[in-house]
Structure 1
């Protein structure tokens, strides 16, 4: 059994005081937009949010009717309590898990979500194999922080528990070597609302324009220089 004790220690009380609520609310809006872009209008009977945090993504999935039934597993007890408090109508199962063992039967969900989870996971392929066991398809999203400024990314994201750093190539390789077939992979800049939340109205707008236009004009150079996000829709072999 893989030891998830250090991750549990970081996140057990992470959502208890609500300090991260505003950032996660904006980030969840961003992530659900990415999911919709990848799914291209497709909806599912049952979706499982793996590493559901405090439920911001679940709440938006419910409001946008992307699934008839939602389920969630989360490593943090404070996250579980925050999800319960939302009283999400389509959420039919909510469980604590250790990061590597999901308490559901094989292929019991049509789509699994792992949104900004894998960068925290010590044993990435064990995690992804378990997610693929339970879900017919997976949407996985990670930050692309392995740029020329990797040293800064390590310093900045260390307190949040990031231990894995990706390029598009290393992310795709991780998925393929975990036994997943990549159906669609997209690179996303941060949304304007997210940039402005972090940097303020004016500076955030400038960062948004630079990041977005750089990606359009010179994608390879942009991804070597600036952090983006990648989302991938996968199926298991």
Structure 2
């Protein structure tokens, strides 16, 4: 599979249109979507979910997984790429009520339209994630956020001692970087959200390795550490995924 992440964020629409023709890219998105959907359901297990909006729907893989889990009754989505929206409409015709083209910082919906707005691996790509979170909390009662936690010891060594940037800058177009603790602080103090539930996903071997199909010494080393270390220590050493259920704090307008 071509490494689409290197160029995806230079011309999102054109590159995404090409990526949608790559069967390996689509399979990779499906693999990651299963875990993302499970994480979303996990943090939302104590709330009633009637309608959801996925912001940055991509291929619609997460929506399809959530629908297979009977997570909600109504499914909506939005993405900057018209090709992604068209693909999602075509692949989710029986349950996607509305799929629209648009940005996360100006959602074309009324206040309180949805039960849950989902930003799964989206805000790390945004120059202004606060605006996206404000919009999400405006149009939905609850907001689910999942991000990679990349401000960890392994990346500190990479950046400070080896003088190499975060690999996800070129590989995935990330412009925001958090640790497990700093993302919680960001959501509460910068975005004005109240955290209701959270989960730290240490990643399974297949999801963590992704395009490498679970093989290679790096994947084996990570799997060994996952099995040997408490999650609180592992998450300080290597990238994990932090998942939060939030709502707008009282007094936020």
Q: Does 1:95 align with 2:95?
A: no
Q: Does 1:138 align with 2:143?
A: yes
Counterpart Cα distance in 1 of 2:150 and 2:137: 25
Aligned partners of 1:213 and 1:183: how far apart in 2? 28
1:16 aligns with 2:4: no
Equivalent residue number for residue 31 of structure 1: 36
Distance 1:40 1:139, change over 3 A: same
Match of 1:147 in 2: 152
Q: Specify every segment of 5 or more residues in structure 1 that has no aligned partner in the other structure, as ranges.
A: 1-5
> What is the CA-CA distance between 1:201 and the residue it aligns to?
4.4
TM-fit CA distance, 1:211? 4.5
State the match for 1:173 in structure 2: 185
Report the TM-score, using the length of structure 1 for normalisation: 0.87
RMSD of aligned Cα (Å): 2.3
Residues 206 and 213, structure 2, Cα contact 8 Å, conserved in 1: no
Q: Secondary structure at the match of 2:112?
A: coil
Instruction: Find the counterpart in structure 2 of residue 213 from structure 1.
Output: 227
Cα shift at 1:76: 1.1
Q: What 5-or-longer segments of structure 2 have no aligned partner?
A: 1-7
Moved more, 65-74 or 151-160: 151-160
**Structure 1 residue corresponding to 2:242, chosen from 227, 230, 236:** 230
SS of the residue corresponding to residue 20 of structure 1 reads helix
Is it true that 1:49 corresponds to 2:63 in the alignment?
A: no
Deviation at 1:227, TM superposition (A): 0.6
Cα 1:82–1:209, aligned 2, differ >3 Å: closer, same or farther? same
Instruction: Count residues in correspondence.
Output: 230
Shift in Å, 1:44? 1.0
1:112 partner SS: strand
Q: Relative to 1, partners in 2 of residues 1:96 and 1:7: Cα closer, same or farther, differing over 3 Å?
A: farther
CA shift, 1:184, in A, is 1.1
How far 1:147 moved relative to its partner? 1.3
